[in-house]
Protein backbone atom coordinates (compact mmCIF):
# COMPACT_ATOMS: atom_id res chain seq x y z
CA UNK A 1 0.00 0.00 0.00
CA UNK A 2 1.36 3.37 -0.96
CA UNK A 3 1.58 6.31 1.45
CA UNK A 4 -1.23 8.24 -0.26
CA UNK A 5 -3.60 5.28 -0.02
CA UNK A 6 -2.66 4.66 3.60
CA UNK A 7 -3.26 8.29 4.53
CA UNK A 8 -6.64 8.26 2.78
CA UNK A 9 -7.77 5.05 4.51
CA UNK A 10 -6.52 6.19 7.92
CA UNK A 11 -8.21 9.57 7.50
CA UNK A 12 -11.50 7.92 6.54
CA UNK A 13 -11.37 5.51 9.49
CA UNK A 14 -10.70 8.34 11.94
CA UNK A 15 -13.60 10.31 10.41
CA UNK A 16 -15.92 7.36 11.03
CA UNK A 17 -14.67 7.08 14.62
CA UNK A 18 -15.35 10.80 15.18
CA UNK A 19 -18.85 10.43 13.73
CA UNK A 20 -19.64 7.44 15.94
CA UNK A 21 -18.59 9.40 19.01
CA UNK A 22 -20.77 12.30 17.91
CA UNK A 23 -23.66 9.85 17.53
CA UNK A 24 -23.01 8.56 21.04
CA UNK A 25 -23.19 12.09 22.40
CA UNK A 26 -26.32 13.00 20.42
CA UNK A 27 -28.23 9.77 21.02
CA UNK A 28 -27.15 9.39 24.65
CA UNK A 29 -25.70 5.92 24.27
CA UNK A 30 -23.88 4.49 27.25
CA UNK A 31 -20.58 2.68 27.01
CA UNK A 32 -19.90 0.07 29.65
CA UNK A 33 -16.61 -1.71 30.17
CA UNK A 34 -17.22 -4.37 32.78
CA UNK A 35 -19.12 -2.56 35.51
CA UNK A 36 -17.64 0.86 34.68
CA UNK A 37 -19.62 3.37 32.61
CA UNK A 38 -17.56 5.72 30.45
CA UNK A 39 -18.58 9.36 30.94
CA UNK A 40 -19.83 11.38 27.97
CA UNK A 41 -17.02 13.93 28.31
CA UNK A 42 -14.61 11.22 27.17
CA UNK A 43 -16.43 11.10 23.83
CA UNK A 44 -15.92 14.86 23.42
CA UNK A 45 -12.17 14.33 23.79
CA UNK A 46 -12.34 11.37 21.36
CA UNK A 47 -14.26 13.46 18.80
CA UNK A 48 -11.62 16.18 18.86
CA UNK A 49 -8.73 13.70 18.69
CA UNK A 50 -10.23 11.61 15.91
CA UNK A 51 -11.20 14.71 13.91
CA UNK A 52 -7.66 16.09 14.12
CA UNK A 53 -6.18 12.76 13.04
CA UNK A 54 -8.71 12.48 10.22
CA UNK A 55 -7.90 15.97 8.99
CA UNK A 56 -4.16 15.23 9.12
CA UNK A 57 -4.54 11.96 7.21
CA UNK A 58 -6.78 13.39 4.50
CA UNK A 59 -4.60 16.47 4.16
CA UNK A 60 -1.53 14.29 3.79
CA UNK A 61 -3.26 12.23 1.11
CA UNK A 62 -4.25 15.36 -0.80
CA UNK A 63 -0.66 16.66 -0.81
CA UNK A 64 0.79 13.59 -2.46
- Tell me the pTM: 0.89
Residue 17: alpha-carbon gap to chain centroid: 3
CA 53, 39, 25, 13 dihedral sign is positive
Please, which pLDDT band fits residue 64 given cuts at 50, 70 and 90? confident
CB atoms within 10 A of CB 50: 21
Among candidates 63, 64, 50, which has minimal Cα distance to 12? 50
Q: pLDDT for 1-54, tens place per residue? A: 899 999 999 999 999 999 999 999 999 999 999 999 999 999 999 999 999 999
Amino acid sequence: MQQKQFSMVAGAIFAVVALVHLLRIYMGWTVMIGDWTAPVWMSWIAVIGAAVLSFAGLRSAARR
